[in-house]
């Protein structure tokens, strides 16, 4: 019984929803005459329609814009180029926005934005197309501007000299002058062994920054003479350079004061004795 009711409900709700969407299509202005879309001469000034774009309304019209490539990864100072094109011909103005040196809008079906040198850290280019009846439509081009790390260094936080077995120490890896920090992956090593891989949690800035990563270690006696180092790599995704920009720190050598050697044990006992003398 119940099963036979469901198709009816589905059908009714479908009819109801299409009845709601009906007035929307009534209120959209009727398409203009073909002569209005493509004026015979280019004398008709498109500037009034440009002001429509200023509040950046959501694009409602079907819009067949395409940008090639669809995203860009570029090193600061390198050239950049992207081609915005449309496959639907009833648009009459195609342009780029949000750029310091945007090309002149065109009535053609593609427009290339290119620069010899990228000199901004935060670029959010947008390609738009305007038409009489469809309103504006737009497409963003995601751009990542990067800078390889200037230098990577490693040190112990608040500690110099030999270490004690079982105590906790903090290793600190500093990556200098890198952008964007959110794409940075830092790995700590002991000799050839990778210890941990870290990312910056909340630095979303696009300008170069110096970022510090830490790792707590508590050395055992086997760590005497161990070499610690860290490596910073920019993970820029598939659009990035073939070999990701990276830099390594120098080695820092761990020297343990308390080892299992008898001589060291003697030293320890002497130290303990001196300590007890002080207490007494
Ligand atoms: C831009 O893209 C359009 C459409 O794919 C193509 O016809 C045109 O040749 C391209 N222009 C450049 C300069 O790459
Ligand atoms: C390192 O030492 C400085 C000054 O002695 C102190 O302000 C800081 O909190 C210490 N850092 C850590 C991680 O212990
Ligand atoms: C650091 O030490 C490792 C071995 O532990 C060695 O392979 C590497 O070349 C050293 N790096 C530098 C910069 O000396
Ligand atoms: C990142 O988070 C830490 C603590 O979670 C906070 O102390 C620090 O100020 C934050 N940094 C930024 C740039 O928001």
- From 131, 142, 143, select the one nearest 63 (Cα to Cα): 131
Ligand 3 site residues, Cβ closer than 6 angstroms:
191, 227, 229, 250-251
DSSP state of 104: P
Average pLDDT, the chain: 77
Comma-separated ranges of CATH 2.60.40.10 domains in the chain: 65-146, 154-256
CB 122 within 8 A of CB 162: no
**From 189, 193, 227, mutation site for ligand 3 pocket: most ligand atoms within 8 A of C-beta:** 227
CA of 157 to the centre of ligand 2 (A): 8
CATH superfamily of 65-146: Immunoglobulins (2.60.40.10)
Separation of first and last alpha carbons in the chain: 94
Element (H, E) at 230: strand 227-234
| 188-200 pLDDT per residue, tens | 999 999 999 999 8
CA of 138 to the centre of ligand 1 (A): 18
Domain 154-256 -> CATH class: mainly beta
Rounded CA-CA distance 48/45 in Å is 7
With 0-12 / 13-18 / 19 or more C-beta atoms within 10 angstroms meaning exposed / middle / buried, residue 136 is buried
Report pLDDT for 230: 97
Q: Is the CB of 216 under 6 A from ligand 2?
A: no
| 225-265 pLDDT per residue, tens | 899 999 999 999 888 898 999 999 999 998 888 655 545 55
Q: pTM for the full model?
A: 0.68
Is a pLDDT exceeding 80 seen at residue 169? yes
| 24-65 pLDDT per residue, tens | 333 334 444 333 333 333 333 333 343 334 444 433 345 688
């Amino acid at each position: 019984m119940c099963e036979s009711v469901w198709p009816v409900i589905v059908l009714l709700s479908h009819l109801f929803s299409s009845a709601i969407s009906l007035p929307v299509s009534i209120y959209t202005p009727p398409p203009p005459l073909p002569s209005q879309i493509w004026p015979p001469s280019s004398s008709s000034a498109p500037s009034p329609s440009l002001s429509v774009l200023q509040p950046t309304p959501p694009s409602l019209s079907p819009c067949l814009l395409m940008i090639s490539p669809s995203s860009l990864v570029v090193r600061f100072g390198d050239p950049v180029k992207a081609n915005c094109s449309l496959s639907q011909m009833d648009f009459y103005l195609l342009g780029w926005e949000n750029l310091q040196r945007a090309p002149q809008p065109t009535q053609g079906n593609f427009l290339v934005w290119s620069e010899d040198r990228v000199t901004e850290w935060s670029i959010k280019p947008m390609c738009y197309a305007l038409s009489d009846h469809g309103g504006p439509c737009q497409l963003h081009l995601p751009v990542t501007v990067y800078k390889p790390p200037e230098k990577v260094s490693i040190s112990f936080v608040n500690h110099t000299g030999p270490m004690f077995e079982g105590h906790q120490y903090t290793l600190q890896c500093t990556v200098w002058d890198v952008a964007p920090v959110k794409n940075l992956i830092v790995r700590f090593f002991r000799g050839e062994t990778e210890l941990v891989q870290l990312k910056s949690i909340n630095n979303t800035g696009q300008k170069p920054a110096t970022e510090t990563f830490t790792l707590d270690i508590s050395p055992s006696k086997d760590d005497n003479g161990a070499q610690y180092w860290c490596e910073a790599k920019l993970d820029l995704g598939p659009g990035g350079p073939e070999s990701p920009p990276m830099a390594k720190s120098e080695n820092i050598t761990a020297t343990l004061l308390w080892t299992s050697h008898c001589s060291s044990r003697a030293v320890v006992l002497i130290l303990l004795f001196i300590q007890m003398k002080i207490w007494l």
